[in-house]
Amino acid sequence: MERETLILHLAELGTFIDSVLAEKPNPRFSMERYEEMNKVIRTEIHRNGWFDEASVRASLQGIRSWMHADAMSALIEPYSFRAFHPSLALILAGNLPLVGFHDVLCGLLSGYRLQVKMSSEDKTLLPVFVNVLSEIDPIYTQLITLNPPRLSGYDAVIGTGSDSTLLHLSAYFREKPHLLRGNRTSVAVLDGNETDETLGKLAEDIFRYYGRGCRNVTHLIVPKGYSFDRFFSALYPHKEVVQNKKYGNNYEYNRAVFLLSQQPVLENGFVLLVESESLHPPLATLYYHTYSTDSEVTRYLSGHSEQIQCVVGRGDTPFGSTQCPEISDFADNINTLSFLAVAHN
């Protein structure tokens, strides 16, 4: 298969996603596939309590923005195509719906056959995509193997997991080219002059997917003397997050832990705000710390750069856009295509 044909097939997958998001069947695809995806969207919350319909649809909307022939062609143009001779092993995370699809996309665009180990938390959405591609061309049943009993014969590995898991994976895959990603999070730098609209956009960066992604803002850097009154008001439209059983349980548990340890906490009934320079707070919690000068902010960001995915504010990532990555935005800021281009030379 030529790369141009592959890109057209992937663009067709984007058209399928359009029909699902619009809730309008497209005669170019079988009704079976359309109904299969809609059933998964409606019922995923029963398999994974974090994956409600709004979260799944948001993920599909983000992926749809990548699946245009011109965007994919521009992304891959500088890199060689291997015509599916080498094999790539993918070990996907499961914290967000279809969180590993960008790796699948990059692998296919680079011309690799894929062996995909899906997370048990996110194992029903990707198979529908593969089924759609297989209807477009049966060759995809040979190019993409989902959850093989054992990874074998691979030429390179991309894996995502916790920092402790990566120690094991690094040792296990030491003989092969590998790209392994661990825990990251995102921060927002405020100066106190943000409008209500800007703070509302920040709330989306915080609460989309219940704050479980590396692109979610979990740490605030605020000027000394900052008042959180307007900030909490901007969060209020997201108060329903606490109705999610898993999120609500985390909120109540962490609230109790902080109170028992006599840790000062600001709260509004659905999120906890705790002063700490640490990253990676527990779920339903935001850490924050204060600054007096811009140089303090610069030093903090530089010192924690290996743990930060996005910086919101300061002219970096715009408020409200962390969960809308472009096709050229790579996890951990490591160019996946560059890795794949040299992995099998």
Q: If you count DSSP H runs as helices and E runs as strands, how many of each does the chain have, helices first? A: 13, 11
Percentage of the chain surpassing pLDDT 70? Answer: 99
Residue 284 CA to residue 255 CA, distance in Å, equals 9
Confidence check: pLDDT of 344 > 70: no
Q: Where in the chain is the domain with CATH 3.40.309.10?
A: 185-312
Residue 242 structure tokens: 């606490």
The pLDDT of residue 313:
94
Residue 108, helix vs strand vs coil = helix
Residue 76 CA to residue 72 CA, distance in Å, equals 6
Element holding 159 (H helix, E strand): strand 156-160
Confidence check: pLDDT of 24 > 70: yes
Q: Which CATH number fits domain 3-179: 3.30.2290.10, 3.40.630.30, 3.40.605.10, 3.90.1720.10?
A: 3.40.605.10
- For 115-130, the pLDDT digits (tens) are 999 999 999 999 999 9
Of 47-56, 80-89, 138-147, the range with the lowest mean pLDDT is: 80-89
Q: What is the fold, at CATH topology level, of the domain defined by 185-312?
A: Aldehyde Dehydrogenase; Chain A, domain 2 (3.40.309)
Label residue 336 by pLDDT band (50, 70, 90): very high
Residue 51 CA to residue 43 CA, distance in Å, equals 9
- For 276-327, the pLDDT digits (tens) are 999 999 999 999 999 999 999 999 999 999 999 999 998 889 999 999 999 9
Label residue 101 by pLDDT band (50, 70, 90): very high
Sheet with 144-146: list strands edge to edge.
Answer: 144-146, 113-117, 87-91, 156-160, 178-181
